[in-house]
Amino acid sequence: MLAIQLGAVIFEGIGIGMLMPILEFIAGNKAGGDDAQSISGVSKFLIDALKSVGVQPTLISLLTTCFLAILVRQVFFYFRELFSGYIDYELSRRIRNAAFERFVFAGLAYHDRIRGGDFVNELTTELRGALSSVVAATQFIGYIMLFVAYSTIAISLSPELTLAAIAVFSIAAVLLLYFIRRMREMGKLVTLANQETISFLVERLRNVRLIRLSGMERAETAMLFDRTLSQRRHEMVRRKAFSILAVVVEPIILLVAFVLLYIAIERMRVPFESVLLFFFILIRLVPIMKEMLYSRQAYIGNLASADVVTARLTGLKEHRDPVGGTRRFDGLNEAIRFENVHFTYSDTTEEEEGGGTKALRGVDLTIPAGKTTALVGPSGSGKSTMVDLIPRLRTPQEGRILFDGVPQSELDVASLRAGVSYAPQQPQLFNVSIADHIRYAKPDATDAEIRDAARLANAEGFIETLRDGYDTLLGENGAKLSGGQRQRIDLARALVRRAPILILDEPTANLDAESEMLFREALAAIRRETDITVILIGHRLTTVTNSDQIAVLMEGRVEAAGSHDALLAAGGWYASAFKSQTQ
């Protein structure tokens, strides 16, 4: 981009410089004649250049050369505009792609600390501002090049006048920098207001049912009005500074030009053609100086957006998930073993002091291959943290997790996660067909594999009653299906890969009795027909009664482990909780 700018500046300088020999030729100073020594240095340089390529200095040749230089300059301007648009869209595309790629590969610890609204705002509003900052910086350098070119021509005409003009322009520019210095702080306030508004919108759109059922429509609308008002207020302060600059710059530069014109004619007795060209250059410098200050102001004003986007890209890159070791995970034959595993969630406010929330405190547990192990316990006991550790979504600070005796740290993370299927408590569905959702983690799944997974998940029956069957669109987040149907569709998605490990995170917590029964039948079919190792977090204890092993977690430790009957006989939390739920 800068190379194109430089080419445009060179031919702009040639075109403007050619005006001097044209004016002198018209004034009677015939270049190359007896009075050739009276021509200016600019004319002599350009005429010598023409003679070196075999062009004689006549009025028609001078005019033609000037016009051709201007045409070439316009060609450079054309490519500058074209390339500027390409850079804008290409940078936007690359940054969004890079940000999303780094986002999906970032560790959960980083995701825990960011707000979705902030991320969306940074890839939309702030990215536009960041790209404007880049473009403005490029334009600023281009205008500096143009200013230097014009100043060089002006110095060759009259060094005294040029130095005086530069001095006056510099004083005026210093006065105008007062507004520019404020632009970065204004930009930070605008960025913060944008982030707050977008985060607010994303959260409220996600929870619109809660807002309606709580009768908070007017209160939430009023809060949004306050945020958008803050956006407008900060943006108008920034616009005010731009407007002041737009009003003040041009009169100042014109005043300087008129003063210098008077001095040149009345005091310094500069030749008329030199004064005419010098004045033309000053007039030409008016929009250049104006745009130079504008681009500088735009760069400073949008620098906060560039800082935010850069910080996000850097943060995502620094918190990328570990690649792991070199050993490939090909399946589970014996067991997963937790040995004295500790895990603490780092709090942002306590991170520097080494504090945080302790989720696991020395967990020891063996999960046998090909069996169903249920993790139960009160909220906050560490169940979800344990299942996050298995596919290494999180890494323990102490202890080890072994797969068939191989430490997790030695396993390639990609192959480990390929061996784990996961169905969350709240099914996360895209607005695609049922078949497309089931094949989400296995794009090449055949229709037969999709139907078999649906059968195993006890979903085949209701899918076939739908008008479009497997081609039925789910709607946003599966809005067209009931809770139990969404859960079984998502279970089919987890089963179609036939990964050796299946993790189910409280799958029946939000289901009615009939849907829970259907899901339990699906679990029984999985146990009966496959050798998949199932790890089940159970909130409803009736869902886990048939598990081969039930581990009871209390305050980050395994308090007890055994079969349903053994735990009932032993008493303790499980027996008490099961009695309470079944009553």
Let me know if residue 481 belongs to a domain.
yes
Distances (CA, A) of 113 to 11, 194, 395, 505, 529: 53, 19, 17, 22, 41
Residue 362 covered by a domain: yes
Q: Please give the pLDDT value at position 173.
A: 67
Residues 203 and 252 grouped into a single domain: yes
The CATH number assigned to the domain holding 274 equals: 1.20.1560.10
**Mean pLDDT across the chain:** 82
Contacts by 313-316, CB closer than 8 A, 24 or more apart: 313/95, 313/98, 313/99, 313/102, 315/110, 316/99, 316/102, 316/103, 316/106, 316/110
Where a domain ends, among 289, 317, 345? 317
CATH number at residue 356: 3.40.50.300
Q: What pLDDT is attached to residue 139?
A: 84
Residue 209 lies in a domain: yes
Together in a domain, 341 and 249? no
Say whether both 302 and 388 belong to one domain.
no
CB contact set of 57 (below 8 Å; sequence gap of 6+)? 21, 25, 31, 32, 47, 50, 51
Handedness of CA 498, 324, 535, 482 (dihedral sign): negative
For 100-109, 322-331, 471-480, 571-580, which range has the lowest pLDDT when averaged over its residues?
A: 471-480
Quick one: 105 and 143 in the same domain?
yes
Q: Who contacts 361 (Cβ-Cβ below 8 Å, separation ≥6)? A: 342, 555, 556, 557
**492 phi and psi, to 5 degrees?**
-60, -40
Residue 323 covered by a domain: no
At 563, give phi and psi (nearest 5°).
Answer: -80, 170
Rounded CA separation 435/448 (Å) = 11
Instruction: Place 36 in a pLDDT band, splitting at 50, 70 and 90.
Output: very low
pLDDT confidence bin for 30, thresholds 50/70/90 = very low
pLDDT tens column, 160-178: 777 777 776 677 667 666 6
Read off the DSSP letter of residue 359: E
Instruction: Please report the pLDDT score of residue 119 as a whole number.
Output: 84
In this prediction, residue 351 carries a pLDDT of: 39
Q: Can you give the pLDDT at residue 352?
A: 38
322, part of any domain:
no
The encoded tokens of residue 296 equal: 């500088």
Provide the domain limits for residue 289. 2-317
pLDDT on residue 64: 86
Flag whether 329 is in a domain.
no
One domain, residues 456 and 364: yes
User: Is 330 part of a structural domain of the chain?
Assistant: no
Tell whether 30 is covered by a domain.
Answer: yes
Domain count, the chain: 2
Could you tell me if 139 and 250 lie in one domain? Answer: yes
What was the pLDDT predicted at 396? 92
d(CA 457, CA 176): 70
| 406-407 and 398-403 strand pairing | antiparallel
Q: Quick one: 547 and 424 in the same domain?
A: yes
Please, what is the end-to-end C-alpha distance for the chain in angstroms? Answer: 75
Distance CA 225, CA 320 (A): 37
∠ CA 249-180-261 to the nearest 5 degrees?
Answer: 25
CA–CA dist 178, 199 (Å, integer): 33
354 and 497 assigned to the same domain = yes
Which of 246-255, 329-338, 444-453, 474-483 has the weakest average pLDDT? 246-255
